[in-house]
Structure 1
Amino acid sequence: MAEVIEFRVPVGNGRTLLVLGVDAGASEHALYLAFAAFGPLYSVKLQRNAPVAGPGYYALVKFYSARDAKRAQCACNQKPLFQKSPLKVSMCTRQRAFPHQPLVLNSYKCRELANHYLGFNGWSSRIITLQNISGFEEVGNEEEEVRTSPRSQQSKYLCVQELTIPQYEICTRGVGVAELQVDPSQGFLVATHSLQKLAVQRALSDAFQKILLVVLENGKVAVEYSSPQDDPIDCLIEEDLRGLIQVTDLSLSDLTCEGEEEILSDHSIEEG
């Protein structure tokens, strides 16, 4: 049977494992290495037991794929893995209230997931435009202006990024907007570059939201385009986009497409 994986935060108990009996000396890294052998992981969280449960730790391991989670549970239950005593691994059955719309994955997680299923050379992205759109904002009311420091200013950047998966002849685009109240006395250039990076990351994440991974039981992967047929960004040719949005003249050489929580950790735009 086929399983559909979206570039969104995985939800549902079928994708989460509860690991009991973790020794005090264990680490989240050791857990990650043990369970990542069965498929890509969204998160690993190690927690101390409640006082009524006695000393020790437990962990929650969340997979993107319910099939991978089930295989890991069957293979790892009552096995010591990275410690001397065996672990008890079960499917998480604790019900939680999930949002109606699954949360979007940040760009770092999107890249990680795409690299696993498509390969490092199976996809690529490029920036079409990155523009300072602060001047297009409507002027706020006088009361708002009084509350805002006269030295600070609202800075906003818009990015349009193109995502290509050549093997499946898929090409789609994403839009990202980032804004911040910037005080020039606190390093305007650094804040501006961080804002540009965040807009780039959000644009890449937005592009991945239009992609579905269809994983077959034998491990083969197909890719589907899931955006509405009349998506305005994907329907416009690049010349039209450049006509609607003036291309910035700022250098992009220092920008990155890393995850939003690590916006200063990489210095490369080309991905894949």
Structure 2
Amino acid sequence: MEVDILEFKVPTDNNKTVFVWDIPPVLTQDQVYEQLHHVFSSFGPLYLLKLCANAPLHPPGFYAIIKFYSAAHAANAQRLTDGRSLLHNSTLKVKLSSKQTPHFLSGRNSPLSHARCLELANHYLGFNGWTSDIITLKELTNEEEGEDEEEDVGGARQRIRFGCMMKLSFPRYGVTTRGAAVVEETFNCTGEKTRRCKLQRSVREKALVQAFSSVLLILLGRLSSFYSKTTEVCVS
């Protein structure tokens, strides 16, 4: 049985990246991108699909870099697509990465964005497989800071800080974890209400990302298990 572990962080391992060569220029770059995404996303959710034109000294065509969240998905994709006719009966060369690239190294240990966390959670756990709740959302700007406005060329500027703690729950497993974040911004007093709303949304999203960063998904074949590094509970 295949076992794979997924974190809610930017994937950087070599075994999660595949390279695709010998893509003929029979379609536009947008059409090739759509077809590659259709083929490879069928093996599992993709973190990245980057399509590039061949260098001038090479024959016309394209190559692609595809990054999966799961090493098992990447291995299956490589095994089942290498040497197969996928685009207009053209045989493609598909290989797993054997070298770490600077692009992926720059994202090592970085948490996923809020949108990526939701995408990954919904894919493996379902829309009803998890919930999030606000434990506290509070403005941390004290009275002195609120009164201490900075003078700028555009007029008075105000600094506002919000803190938030979110609870992330997985009802099926009876497990919860938490995440907290603080955001701060200095802005002109005009449009203050709108900026406050955006800041509150930003701190909620950052707190939820922090909560997801303590979660591991353990994939057993087609089954998903859950592990929370915060509560140290494992469910199979």
2:21 partner SS: strand
Matches within 5 A, 1:261-272: none
Structure 2 CA distance for partners of 1:27 and 1:194, relative to 1, 3 Å: farther
* Farther-moved stretch of structure 1 (90-99 vs 1-10): 90-99
Indicate which of 121, 130, 133 corresponds to 1:126: 133
Quote how far apart the aligned CAs of 1:50 are: 1.8
For the pair 1:212 / 2:213, whether they are aligned, the reply is no
Hey, what's the Cα distance between the residues in 2 that align with 1:146 and 1:80?
65
Unaligned runs of 5+ in 1: 140-144, 230-272
**Alpha-carbon displacement from aligned partner over 1:173-229 (angstroms, at most 9, x marks no partner):** 1112222221233x333322222211111111111111111111x222211111277
Given that 1:34 and 1:82 are in contact with CA atoms closer than 8 Å, whether structure 2 keeps it comes out as no
Residue identity over aligned pairs, in percent, reads: 36
Structure 2 CA distance for partners of 1:99 and 1:71, relative to 1, 3 Å: same
Hey, what's the Cα distance between the residues in 1 that align with 2:192 and 2:88?
50
For the pair 1:171 / 2:172, whether they are aligned, the reply is no
Quote how far apart the aligned CAs of 1:96 are: 3.0
With the length of structure 2 as denominator, give the TM-score of the two structures: 0.84
Root-mean-square deviation (CA), in Å? 2.7
1:52 partner SS: coil
Given that 1:129 and 1:160 are in contact with CA atoms closer than 8 Å, whether structure 2 keeps it comes out as yes
Structure 2 CA distance for partners of 1:67 and 1:190, relative to 1, 3 Å: same
* Farther-moved stretch of structure 1 (112-121 vs 75-84): 75-84
Unaligned runs of 5+ in 2: none
With the length of structure 1 as denominator, give the TM-score of the two structures: 0.73
* Farther-moved stretch of structure 1 (78-87 vs 106-115): 78-87
**Alpha-carbon displacement from aligned partner over 1:237-256 (angstroms, at most 9, x marks no partner):** xxxxxxxxxxxxxxxxxxxx
Hey, what's the Cα distance between the residues in 2 that align with 1:137 and 1:79?
67
Q: Which runs of 4+ in 1 moved over 6 A?
A: 136-139, 146-149
Indicate which of 181, 185, 192 corresponds to 1:180: 185
* Farther-moved stretch of structure 1 (199-208 vs 92-101): 92-101
Structure 2 CA distance for partners of 1:163 and 1:49, relative to 1, 3 Å: same
**Aligned twin of 1:3:** 4
Q: Give the structure with the higher percent strand.
A: 2
Indicate which of 211, 223, 228 corresponds to 1:225: 228
**Aligned twin of 2:109:** 102
